[in-house]
Amino acid sequence: MTEYVDHYRVSTEWQGRSSLGLKAQRAMVEQFLTPADQEVAEFTGIQSGKGDDRVEPWNASPLCRRPTRSC
């Protein structure tokens, strides 16, 4: 079993409200995972890539430090 920490991100508030980008990202993750895999956490960010103040990757990173987890 492999444990995964999911991080989804869209760039605009509109994309976040419409869920268009987030739904597509979640669908790709669902296709990737096997029945034996486990999602241990999910982080979602709605923020432009221009800024360097995105907190979700920093919040997710401590969970990724276990050897059996993938991010």
pLDDT over 70 (residue 2): yes
Segments making up each domain of the chain, as ranges: 3-70
Look at residue 12 in the predicted model and tell me its pLDDT: 80
What whole-number distance in Å separates Cα of residue 6 and Cα of residue 50? 21
Look at residue 58 in the predicted model and tell me its pLDDT: 75
What whole-number distance in Å separates Cα of residue 30 and Cα of residue 47? 23
Look at residue 70 in the predicted model and tell me its pLDDT: 65
User: pLDDT by residue (tens digit) across 19-61?
Assistant: 678 888 999 999 999 999 999 999 888 777 666 677 777 788 8
Amino acid occupying residue 30 = E
